[in-house]
Structure 1
């Protein structure tokens, strides 16, 4: 069952997440719920804190449309600065140019607790950086000018109020 996606600046999105230590059925259930939420929102990645869980786990979309989980990820290397158009499920309908890196090397666990290292470039590197930022308590708007961030913040606060009224 899909969970609601949390809208920035909700506190769960601005705080660093906790490492995953339990690789049992609750993690599998969370990953399924995250996948459903991401599909409903037509996303290419989602972090656990975007569905209200402060855990260091995310789903990352590959170029071929498939997804894989990253648990307790760390970025080991970043190369070739680049600016890319970026949006976010937790900052709906907002797109801005964001500084990232064309190539990254990431170390992470899968849902079975096995460690992997991955060198990625282009879109996959972009999605990895975006999702790991979430797990570190950052949203892409944190990379923007204070003026752009303030304008987007005002729109997100209005959106949060509308959603609260719809639920209430």
Structure 2
């Protein structure tokens, strides 16, 4: 079952997540719920804290529609510079150009706890960095000017208030 996506600046999005220690059925269930939430929102990636769970788990979408399930990821190498337009499921309807590294090498565990390393470039590298930022307690707006971040925060606060009213 899909979980609700948390809207920034909720505290769970601004705090670093905890490493996964239990690679059992609870992790499988969380990954399935995250996949459903991401699909419903038509996203290309999602981190566990975006559905209110402060664990170091994310899904990173490939261009073919499949995704990496990454647990306890680490950025090992970064090179080049690129600026691409970026959005976020937790900051809906907001798109801004964000500087990132063009190529990255990432080490992560799969849902069974096995370690993997992968290299990515272009849009895939961008998504890896975006999701790992989430796990570190950062949202793409943290890369923007104070003015842009303040304006987006005001819009998200209004959105959160309107969602609360709809639930009442």
Counterpart in the other structure of 1:90: 90
Counterpart in the other structure of 2:74: 74
Instruction: Find the aligned partners of 1:150 and 1:16 in 2 and give their Cα distance.
Output: 21
Counterpart in the other structure of 2:59: 59
Secondary structure of 1:73's aligned partner: strand
Counterpart in the other structure of 2:13: 13
The structure 1 segments of at least 4 consecutive aligned residues displaced by more than 2 Å after TM superposition are none
TM-superposed CA distance for 1:68, in Å, is 1.8
TM-superposed CA distance for 1:57, in Å, is 0.2
1:44-99 deviations in Å (ceiling 9; x for gaps): 00000000000000001001111120000000111001111000000000000001
Instruction: Find the aligned partners of 2:98 and 2:122 in 1 and give their Cα distance.
Output: 14
* C-alpha RMSD of matched pairs (Å): 0.4
TM-superposed CA distance for 1:32, in Å, is 0.4
Counterpart in the other structure of 1:134: 134
Residues matched between the structures, number: 168
Q: Any stretches of 5+ residues in structure 1 without a counterpart?
A: none
Quick check: 1:160 aligned with 2:163? Answer: no
Counterpart in the other structure of 2:121: 121
1:136-158 deviations in Å (ceiling 9; x for gaps): 00000000000000000000000
Secondary structure of 2:106's aligned partner: strand
TM-superposed CA distance for 1:163, in Å, is 0.5
